[in-house]
Structure 1
């Protein structure tokens, strides 16, 4: 059965890959992009590849953009737009923390709330959130992002039980480290503010991200969650990350302060 899927953060990374993957299978995809240049570029890319996409500007922080999106009837929301800003917690400017939470938590929640209302009235629908492995384990030097994804996990688990009686499904996808560029720029973002104040702890250890996986693995898993009749509530990839999460969640009961 053909589905109508709206994707936030479709201008790059997992959102873009999922948009093209679903469209190639014949599904109706509404690809939301953060800024107008991404809209123009994605439309041109779709035309070049012979793929039918409805591409819209959707800055999830913009009320007008959100309301424009809410006017559409969809089967699945892929709640994917996100922001990563790194740095040791003791040094993180509060403005940075607020910015991360505004995008990853509050705006994502507003998107989920808006579409959940139409889904509840209809008695069907699915909301798939991009969480992260960082929402399930400790992530030193990336506390703001990890905390935002822990918050996402809290909202998702609550929504899952609250919406199930109304025929609306909620699921999370939890990527580990993949070569989308997201992790690289998230680390680099720290350099924008690091020298603008006195620091008492060290900068994130300088290291190249060399252990990232091919994002196609995660894209394929997300598409499966979007389309499956009864997808799992949580999907962690790669398999090594799934095992690491399980091991750490077991170990934390024995951890000392």
Structure 2
């Protein structure tokens, strides 16, 4: 079955890889990018590969951009855009936390709500949301990002049950650490604000992340979840992250102070 898939955050990382992979597989792709230079670059890469793909500008924080995207014809939403900024919870500037939640939760929720209304009227559709393994387990020094993904998990669990009677499907994808650059820059972002203000905790050392997996595995799994007839509700990869999440969730039930 050929799907028409709107992807947010397709200018880089998983979103870009999924957009190109879906187009190669013959699906209709609406690949949205945060800024115009990304639009130009992705259009050029698609043309170079001989792929047909609609590429639009969609900053999920812009109501104008969201309205433009949601007015297009599509049957699947890949709610993928997101940001991460590291830092200990006790020291995080509130504006950083708000920015993370504005992007990862509130803007993504507005995209999901717009798609849900469209799909309810159509009697079918699928919303796939990029969560994270960080939405399932503790992630010290990435508490704001983790909390935003816990919020995503809560919305998706509710949406799954609420939309099922209308023929609308909801799935989550929970990546662990992959070499897309997302985790590296998320860690480095702490240095932008650490020196501005009094700190009582030690700076978390920004280090090279050497144990990240090849993103091709996750991109292939995302494409399957977006296109297969009966995908799992939750997909956690790599396997090490899947096993760690199950183990740590059980440990939390048994933990004592």
TM above 0.5: yes
Asked whether the equivalents of residues 139 and 146 of structure 2 are also in contact (C-alpha less than 8 Å), the reply is: yes
CA displacement at 1:256 relative to structure 2: 2.1
Q: Deviations over 1:14-34 (max 9, x none)?
A: 000000000001110000000
Task: Look up the SS of the partner of 1:77 in the other structure.
Answer: strand
Task: Look up the SS of the partner of 1:196 in the other structure.
Answer: coil
Which structure 2 residues correspond to residues 98-109 of structure 1 after superposition, within 5 A?
98-109=98-109
| 2: CA distance, partners of 1:49 / 1:206 | 37
| 1: CA distance, partners of 2:204 / 2:51 | 41
Q: Deviations over 1:59-103 (max 9, x none)?
A: 000011001001112111000000001000000000000000000
Q: Deviations over 1:40-61 (max 9, x none)?
A: 1110111111111100000000
Consecutive unaligned residues of structure 2, counting only runs of 5 or more, are none
CA displacement at 1:207 relative to structure 2: 2.3
The corresponding residue for 1:65 is 65
Task: Look up the SS of the partner of 2:195 in the other structure.
Answer: helix
Matched positions, count: 257
Asked whether the equivalents of residues 22 and 223 of structure 2 are also in contact (C-alpha less than 8 Å), the reply is: yes
| 2: CA distance, partners of 1:51 / 1:218 | 21
TM-score by length of structure 1 reads 0.99
| 1: CA distance, partners of 2:241 / 2:70 | 34
Task: Look up the SS of the partner of 2:187 in the other structure.
Answer: helix
| 1: CA distance, partners of 2:202 / 2:113 | 40
Q: Which runs of 4+ in 1 moved over 3 A?
A: none
Q: Deviations over 1:184-213 (max 9, x none)?
A: 000000000000011011111342100000
Asked whether the equivalents of residues 188 and 206 of structure 2 are also in contact (C-alpha less than 8 Å), the reply is: no
| 2: CA distance, partners of 1:194 / 1:245 | 30
CA displacement at 1:254 relative to structure 2: 1.4
The corresponding residue for 1:81 is 81
Note the aligned Cα RMSD (angstroms): 0.6
